[in-house]
Amino acid sequence: MAKAVSVRGLTKAFGARTVLDGIDLEVQPGEFVALLGRSGCGKSTLLRILAGLDRDVEGTAEVPGTVSIAFQQPRLLPWRKVWKNISLGLHKPDGREVALKALEEVRLTGHADAWPLTLSGGEAQRVSLARALVREPDVLLLDEPFGALDALTRLAMHHLVEDLWARHKPAVLLVTHDVDEALLLADRILVLDEGRIVATHHVDLPRPRRRASVVEQRTRVLADLGVDVEEAA
Amino acid sequence: MTLSIAGVVARPKSAPPQQARKLKLPLRWISPIALVLLWQLASSTGVLSPDKLASPVTIAESAGELIADGQLGEAFAVSITRVFFGFLIGGLAGVVLGLASGLSRWGETLLDPPVQMLRTLPHLGLIPLFILWFGIGEEPKLALVAAGVAFPLYLNLHAGIRQTDPGLVEAAKVLGYSRFERIVHVVLPSAVPQTLVGLRIAFGTAWLSLIVAEQVNADAGLGFLINNAREFLRTDVVVVGLVVYALLGLTTDALVRLMERRVLRWQKR
C-alpha cells in the first residue's frame, strides 16, 4: 500500500543551526502518529515542510495525497462568517451544506453565521478543525492545536479529534510536547530531539484510553525525553 | 454577609454610566446655546459691530436669502465638483501606488522612498508651484485636492497590506490558494480597516485643500462667495460659507463612519 507520508534523509538548516538532521519517517494511511519533543526540537519545522510551507530543504518529503493542517492558532479569516471559513477549505465560494455538516461534526451547530472573533478559543479551534476536514484530507497535520486551550477544553478536544479520526481515517501527524496527549491519541510516538528521531514507541493500548492505562508507558517515554519521573517523585 | 454587600456594590457600578450619559446629552447643550445667546445679545446691544461679526439672527437670515436666490446652491455645486474630481484623481493615484508598493517588493523598493520623501512636504505650501504649473483656473485647485487625498490613502493602504497576518496567508496557502487568490481573499480584506482610516483622513484633507485653493483667485464656489463677501464687509455671508464648509466635512466623515460600521461588522466592539 502507498504510504501517506514518506520522508527520507530530510535535513533543514536555518543558517548555521541544523533544525532537522536526516529524518526518515513513513506514515501508513490512517495511522495516528505523534511527534513529541521539547520546544525547538524541530517538530513544527517538520510539519511545515510536509504542509509545503517550506521547500528549501535537503532530502525528500513526499505527501502524495491531500494535506490539511490545523495550527496552534485557529487562523480563521475574521471577516468571513464561520461557515464561509469552513467552505474556504473546499476552495469554492459555495458549499454551505458541507460546511454545516462539518460544523455538526465538531459540535458547533448554530454557530454557522457567527463572526470568528465572537468565538471562544476552543470553538475557534473546532472551526479550524472543520475547515481542515472538509477537504477530506489523506493526511491531517496538527501543529499543537490544543496548546493554547485551557485544560478542560483540551480534554474535550482530545475526544473530538479521536472521534473525527476514527470516522474519516486520515493519517494524522500530531505535533505536541504533551506526553499524555500523545499517549492518549497516537498509534505511534516519535520522540524528536535536536532534529533527530531518538526513540519510537508503539502504543497498543485499546481505545478509548483512560489516563490510568497509560501510566506505565508514560514513564518510559518521559525517560526518552530526559525526564526521570521516578527520581522527580 | 460580605457576599451580599459585594452584590449591592457591584450593581450600581454598571447601571449609572448609562443613566448619566442619557442625562448628560441634553446638559451638554447648555453652554453652546448660552454662547450663541450671549453672541446675539452682544450684537443686539451694539457691543459687537456687524463689521466684525454679524449676529446669529442676521446670519440665519442671510443663509435663507442665499439659498432662496440660488447663490449658495451654485457655489456649493462648484465646490463639491472640485472636491469630487480632485478626490477621484488623488484617490486613484493613492490606491494604485499603494497597491503597487504594498503587494510587490519591487514596487515598494522603487515607489515608497520618493512617496515618503514627498509626503513630508506640507502640500498646502505647493500652491505657488501649482499656480506656475497649472495657471489660476480649475487645474491647480484639483491638483491641490488630489495631492491632499493621495498621500493619506497611499500610506494607509500600504500599511494595511503590510500588516496582513502572515499566519492567515500561510493557512490559505496550505488550502491550495494561488498568490492571486491569497491577495483577493486574505491580503486585501485585511487591509480594509486601515484603508478606511486613510479614507477618513483623505476626506478631511480634501476639504482643507479645497478651502485653501479657493482662497486663490476663485471666480466661483464657496471660497469665491466668502472672498466676495469680505470685500463688502458682509461677515454674515462669510460665516454662512464657513458653516457650509463645516457641514460638508461632517457629512463626508459621517458617510465614511457609516461605511466603516457596515464593512467592519466582523470586528469585535
In contact, B140 and B148? CB cutoff 8 Å: no
pLDDT of the residue at B10: 36
Q: Nine-digit cell at A64?
A: 502524495
Chain A residues within 8 A of B267 when measuring between CB atoms: 78, 117
Does the structure show a pLDDT above 90 at B268?
no
**Which residue shows C-alpha cell 481515517?**
A169
Question: Is A80's CB within 8 Å of B266's CB?
Answer: yes
Establish if B157 belongs to a structural domain. yes
Does the structure show a pLDDT above 80 at A162?
yes
- Shortest Cα–Cα distance, A134 to chain B (Å): 11
Q: Which chain B residue shows the shortest CA-CA distance from A114? A: B266
Partner residue opposite A88 with nearest CB, options B170, B175, B267: B175
Establish if B58 belongs to a structural domain. no
Establish if B88 belongs to a structural domain. yes
- Single out the residue of A223, A225, A180 nearest to residue A203, CA to CA: A180
Q: Nine-digit cell at A174?
A: 500530531
Which residue segment(s) compose the domain that B99 sits in? 69-263
Which one of A54, A68, A75 would you mutate to disrupt binding with B, by most B Cβ within 10 Å of its Cβ?
A75
Annotate A62-83 with b (16+ C-beta within 10 A) or e (fewer).
ebeeebbbbbbbbbbbbbbbbb
Is B268 within 8 Å of chain A by CB? yes
Q: Which chain A residue shows the shortest CA-CA distance from B186? A: A77
pLDDT of the residue at B236: 94
Q: Which chain B residue shows the shortest CA-CA distance from A73? A: B167
Question: Is A75's CB within 8 Å of B170's CB?
Answer: yes
Q: What is the pLDDT of residues B140-160, one digit of tens each?
A: 999 999 999 999 999 999 999
Instruction: Identify whether B113 is preceded by a cis peptide bond (ω within 30 of 0).
Output: no
Question: Is B192's CB within 8 Å of A79's CB?
Answer: yes
The CA distance from B202 to A172, in Å, is 51
Beta-bridged to residue A62, according to DSSP, are A6
Least confident span in A27-36, A149-158, B227-236 = A149-158
Is B173 within 8 Å of chain A by CB? yes
Q: Nine-digit cell at A200?
A: 519510537
Establish if B29 belongs to a structural domain. no
Question: Is B175's CB within 8 Å of A67's CB?
Answer: no
Does the structure show a pLDDT above 80 at A128?
yes
Q: What is the pLDDT of residues A27-52, one digit of tens each?
A: 999 999 999 988 888 888 999 999 99
Rounded to the nearest 5°, which phi and psi values hold at B137? Answer: -85, -140
Question: Is A53's CB within 8 Å of B189's CB?
Answer: no
pLDDT of the residue at B3: 37
Does the structure show a pLDDT above 70 at B269?
no
Q: How far is CA B123 from the centre of its chain?
A: 16
Partner residue opposite B168 with nearest CB, options A53, A75, A118: A75
Helix B235-263 vs helix B71-103: crossing angle, to nearest 10: 40
Q: Which chain A residue shows the shortest CA-CA distance from B188? A: A79
Chain A residues within 8 A of B189 when measuring between CB atoms: 77, 79
Q: CA torsion, points B222, B223, B224, B230, in degrees to nearest 10?
A: 110
Is B168 within 8 Å of chain A by CB? yes
- Shortest Cα–Cα distance, A135 to chain B (Å): 9
pLDDT of the residue at A201: 93
Q: ipTM of this predicted complex?
A: 0.87
Does the structure show a pLDDT above 60 at B6?
no
- When the pLDDT of each residue in chain A is averaged and rounded to a whole number, the result is 89
Does the structure show a pLDDT above 60 at B87?
yes
pLDDT of the residue at A149: 86
Question: Is B266's CB within 8 Å of A117's CB?
Answer: yes
Q: How far is CA B265 from the centre of its chain?
A: 22
Does the structure show a pLDDT above 50 at B13?
no
The CA distance from A76 to A87, in Å, is 12
Surface-to-core class of residue B89, CB atoms within 10 Å of its CB (0-12 exposed, 13-18 middle, 19+ buried): middle
Chain A residues within 8 A of B167 when measuring between CB atoms: 71, 73, 75
Establish if B47 belongs to a structural domain. no
Does the structure show a pLDDT above 70 at B264?
yes
Question: Is B266's CB within 8 Å of A115's CB?
Answer: yes
B147 secondary structure, DSSP code: H
Least confident span in A88-92, B205-209, B227-231 = A88-92
pLDDT of the residue at B22: 64
The CA distance from B232 to B126, in Å, is 30
pLDDT of the residue at A1: 60
The neighbour count for residue B161, using CB atoms within 10 Å, is 21
- The share of chain A scoring above pLDDT 70, in percent, equals 97
CATH of the domain at B79: 1.10.3720.10
Class of domain A29-55+66-232: alpha beta
The CA distance from B185 to B64, in Å, is 51
Question: Is B173's CB within 8 Å of A53's CB?
Answer: yes
**Which residue shows C-alpha cell 538548516?**
A13
pLDDT of the residue at A147: 84
Chain B residues within 8 A of A135 when measuring between CB atoms: 175
Annotate A20-44 with b (16+ C-beta within 10 A) or e (fewer).
beebebebeebbbbbbbbeeebbbb
Establish if B63 belongs to a structural domain. no
- Shortest Cα–Cα distance, A81 to chain B (Å): 8
Element (H, E) at A17: strand A17-27
Does the structure show a pLDDT above 70 at B5?
no
Q: Is A112 helix (H, G, I), strand (E, B) or coil?
A: coil
Chain B residues within 8 A of A115 when measuring between CB atoms: 265-266
Q: Nine-digit cell at B101?
A: 508598493
How many folded domains does chain B comprise?
1
